[in-house]
Amino acid sequence: MTFTRRATVAVPVGKVTIGGGRTIVVQSMITEETRNVDACVRQILALHDVGCEIVRITTPTMAEARCLEEIRAKVREAGAEVPLVADVHHQGSPIAVEVAKHVDKVRINPGLFVFRKRVQRTVEYSPQEHAEELAAIEQELVPVIDACKENDTAMRIGVNHGSLAERMLVTHGDTPEGMVESALEYIRICEKHDFRRIIVSLKASRVPIMLAANRLFSSKSDYPLHLGVTEAGDGDYARVKSTAGIGTLLAEGIGDTIRVSLAEDPINEIPVCYDILQALGIRRSKTEFIACPSCGRTKFDLPTVFAKVKSATGHLSGLDIAVMGCIVNGPGEMADADYGYVGQAGGKIALYRKHEVVKNNIPQENGVQELIALLKADGAWIEPS
């Protein structure tokens, strides 16, 4: 079973296409200082090596922006075609114009792009004030649009719940509606100037807000969405939080590219992305394991046996392998797994192919080797690299 994905327009970002029904793209962001070119190149290549398909780099000032040409040249020299994205923040127009020449996508934040210091205003903006602000945004955005058009560079309109412009806060409150409107008013300016190479993100550190904003946006627009729970933290809870946000939307067919934001080495983000995609059956990058939780009927030390089976067969992508503690319920519970490793009385195990018993009464110490032999006989085995 697969999820029906929301139809979005296809947006090329270098060699990768986001949206338009393409594979959901995994991305991350480096943490090295952008002026430290060689360290950035090393981290980009390391991320690329573990499967990161788009890499983002921060460019807070023009000095960092000017480093991107060299970073890209060195990454390409090393043979990596991974698309690069520049992250632009406060008063970003001149920086975005510069980086658009050197990267495949420019990320701008509507809350900061034309920056107005917050003054805790409570009086609503008049129509004229709105119009003046929009004119100021257009004036700053048009040179970026032109630079993106000239260089075939995409733009991410990256809204963050925590950095909405005060005009949005006064008009819409601290809400998903304010986040969506922040993106839509930038989109309207882009479309007015015939630019549609756009990807949108609506990130929040609170999962319910991130969910609501992305659902609302996807009901109003068909630009592809970059999903992420921002400032998720580290460890197990950050992974759970990211999965709750990203996975929920993907299961609803929303989302075209994902980033798990961890306060850890960005290398750690990539397996989490792939695990979310694998758990949802969207992308398979490794064996899918099924294991019962074990109970009083379990005929072996399930965690130990499961670890051995995973270690021996985890590299086989595209297979479902079940490890079940007893023959009473195990074969039924493992449903449609391709292969089953099931505990029997007397320290033995049985091997299944789908629902068929292939071999009974295998001594437990030979179980993993017998499973590998079965996979080899079926042509399903690949030697680990």
Residues that bind ligand SF4 (CB under 6 A): 292-295, 297-298, 324-326, 328-330, 333
Looking at the Cβ atoms of 272 and 292, the one nearer to ligand SF4 is 292
Choice between 95 and 309, CB closer to ligand SF4? 309
Residue with tokens 């899918």: 288
Which of residues 61 and 329 has its CB atom nearest to ligand SF4 in the complex?
A: 329
Closest by CA to 6, choosing from 214, 186, 271, 161, is 214
Coil/strand/helix, residue 55: strand
Using CB atoms within 10 Å of the CB of residue 131, give its burial: 0 to 12 exposed, 13 to 18 middle, 19+ buried: exposed
**Minimum CB–partner distance for residue 310 and ligand SF4 (Å):** 17
Nearest approach, Cβ of 278 to ligand SF4 (angstroms)? Answer: 23
Judged by beta carbon, residue 317 or residue 360, the one nearer ligand SF4 is 360
Instruction: Give the residue nearest to ligand SF4 (CB).
Output: 325
Residue 343 beta carbon to ligand SF4: minimum distance, rounded to whole angstroms: 7
DSSP H stretches of helix in the chain: 37-49, 62-77, 93-99, 127-151, 166-172, 176-192, 207-220, 235-242, 248-251, 269-279, 302-313, 330-333, 367-377
Q: Which is nearer to ligand SF4, 171 or 329 (CB)?
A: 329
Closest to ligand SF4 by CB, 250 vs 327, is 327
Instruction: Supply the minimum distance, in Å, between the C-beta of residue 364 and ligand SF4.
Output: 14
Q: Radius of gyration of the chain from Cα atoms?
A: 25
Distance CA 2, CA 156 (A): 27
CA distance 47 to 25: 14
Q: How far is the CB of 363 from ligand SF4 (least distance, A)?
A: 19
User: Minimum CB separation from ligand SF4 for residue 14, in Å?
Assistant: 48
